[in-house]
């Protein structure tokens, strides 16, 4: 199992030092989110100070960017990283697309399918000089002159991962994508019974195998050297679980465990700004199901026990910082690699 770093709330000026230190420690990859920064900018910085780690987006929101814009950015990053870039795409939810990006919300699953197909048509054009002739319901791309075509890559085209929760997105990943970003709010039961069967359905439809799709997830981890550390970590993770579970899109995860009634309560409390009250709704049983909990010297074994055969790559949701607990991270990395 590979272990990666998820960048979240890291200033751009700190990216090179963090990326360099993470690669030195033995992390396998580094992923950026579309939150405080454009997701591609940190990878540009990391590409200049690393030589081995995978560098990818987890995720970039697809629809605010034309496929040609994303194609160019991905092509350049694949060149800069010498073949180590992974394009992770997501649809976001309706409220953000309409009210944060100011765009029309329409058929996110079929539109993402077409987006992936459009990207690959553009890359085929650039790599092999074939005419650009993509026509779909949402995108029509038929113009590409040599002046606007970059040089062919000396590496394979960028892999495309997609993020999702519902069955359509899982099947789409199996059918068309190179990888799947599992949402942080998940359980082993949800992976076994909801995610993997749908990915296998999609893969079978396309004559592929589940092994053709890399599964990556940021995972909630509650650990520490002392009891006070564990309690502080529990409080942080409860808050994050409550935040995600307040969104109706993620309720199927709760419902699978018989906690469907908690979702509407969290939604109401979120609307009222009752963040402390939300965390209090996350029981110990929920914490154990959605997070890996244990003392620092046991956490690697517990991660392996939970995720072996379910995930190919993991990252701690609240993860690595330069110079902090480096002996702990070495122990975890070595254990997951063994």
Tell me the domain boundaries of the chain.
2-221+295-337
User: What's the pLDDT score for residue 70?
Assistant: 98
CB 173, CB 199: distance < 8 Å = yes
- Percent of the chain topping pLDDT 70: 100
What mean pLDDT is predicted for residues 51-65?
98
CB 205, CB 172: distance < 8 Å = no
**In angstroms, rounded to a whole number, what is the distance separating the alpha carbons of residues 162 and 305?**
25
pLDDT at 263 over 90: yes
User: What's the pLDDT score for residue 187?
Assistant: 97
pLDDT at 78 over 90: yes
- Percent of the chain topping pLDDT 90: 91
User: What's the pLDDT score for residue 225?
Assistant: 82
CB under 8 A, 24+ apart: contacts of 97-104: 97/61, 97/63, 97/64, 101/61, 101/63, 101/64, 103/63, 103/64
User: What's the pLDDT score for residue 256?
Assistant: 95
What mean pLDDT is predicted for residues 139-161?
97
pLDDT band at 8 (very low <50, low <70, confident <90, very high): confident
pLDDT at 72 over 90: yes
User: What's the pLDDT score for residue 74?
Assistant: 98
What mean pLDDT is predicted for residues 23-42?
96
Q: Which tokens go with 286?
A: 């929920």
User: What's the pLDDT score for residue 9?
Assistant: 86
Half-sphere exposure at residue 251, Cβ-oriented, CA atoms within 13 angstroms: 12
Q: Residues near 224 by Cβ (< 8 Å), separated by ≥ 6?
A: 230, 232, 233, 295, 296
Of residues 251 and 174, more confidence is placed in 174
User: What's the pLDDT score for residue 249?
Assistant: 85
What mean pLDDT is predicted for residues 301-306?
96
**In angstroms, rounded to a whole number, what is the distance separating the alpha carbons of residues 19 and 29?**
9
What mean pLDDT is predicted for residues 167-171?
97
User: What's the pLDDT score for residue 250?
Assistant: 87
**In angstroms, rounded to a whole number, what is the distance separating the alpha carbons of residues 55 and 37?**
16
pLDDT at 228 over 90: no
pLDDT at 224 over 90: no
Q: Which tokens go with 174?
A: 């199996």
Query: CA-CA distances (angstroms) from residue 186 to 100, 248, 256, 329?
Result: 26, 14, 10, 23
User: What's the pLDDT score for residue 227?
Assistant: 84
Q: What is the CATH number of domain 2-221+295-337?
A: 3.20.20.30
Mean model confidence pLDDT for the chain:
96
pLDDT band at 168 (very low <50, low <70, confident <90, very high): very high
pLDDT at 27 over 90: yes
**In angstroms, rounded to a whole number, what is the distance separating the alpha carbons of residues 122 and 146?**
13
pLDDT at 113 over 90: yes
User: What's the pLDDT score for residue 93?
Assistant: 87
What mean pLDDT is predicted for residues 251-279?
94
User: What's the pLDDT score for residue 197?
Assistant: 98
């Amino acid at each position: 199992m590979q272990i990666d770093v998820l960048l979240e709330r890291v200033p751009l000026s700190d990216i090179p030092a963090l990326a360099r230190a993470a690669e030195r420690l033995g992390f396998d990859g580094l992923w950026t989110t579309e939150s405080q920064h454009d997701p591609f900018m940190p990878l540009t910085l990391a590409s200049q100070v690393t030589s081995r780690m995978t560098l990818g987006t987890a995720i970039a929101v697809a629809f605010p960017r034309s496929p040609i814009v994303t194609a160019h950015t991905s092509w350049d990053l694949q060149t800069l990283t010498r073949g180590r870039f992974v394009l992770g795409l997501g649809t976001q939810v309706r409220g953000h697309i309409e009210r944060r990006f100011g765009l029309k919300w329409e058929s996110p699953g079929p539109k993402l399918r077409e987006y992936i197909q459009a990207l690959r048509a553009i890359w085929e054009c650039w790599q092999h000089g074939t005419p650009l002739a993509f026509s779909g319901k949402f995108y029509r791309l038929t113009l590409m002159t040599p002046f606007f075509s970059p040089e062919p890559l000396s590496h394979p085209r960028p892999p495309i991962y997609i993020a999702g929760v519902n069955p359509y997105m899982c099947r789409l990943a199996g059918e068309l994508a190179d990888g799947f970003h599992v949402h942080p709010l998940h359980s082993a039961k949800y992976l076994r019974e909801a995610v993997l069967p749908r990915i296998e359905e999609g893969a079978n439809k396309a004559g592929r195998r589940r092994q053709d799709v890399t599964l990556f997830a940021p995972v909630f981890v509650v650990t520490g050297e002392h009891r006070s550390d564990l309690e502080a970590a529990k409080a942080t993770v409860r808050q994050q679980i409550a935040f995600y579970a307040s969104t109706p899109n993620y309720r199927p995860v709760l419902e699978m465990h018989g906690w469907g009634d908690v979702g509407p309560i969290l939604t109401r409390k979120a609307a009222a700004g009752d963040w402390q009250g939300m965390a209090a709704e996350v029981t110990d049983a929920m914490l154990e199901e959605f997070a890996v909990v244990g003392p620092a010297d046991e956490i690697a074994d517990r991660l392996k026990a939970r995720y072996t055969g379910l995930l190919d790559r993991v990252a701690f949701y609240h993860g690595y910082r330069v110079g902090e607990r480096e002996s702990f991270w070495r122990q975890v990395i070595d254990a997951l690699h063994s």
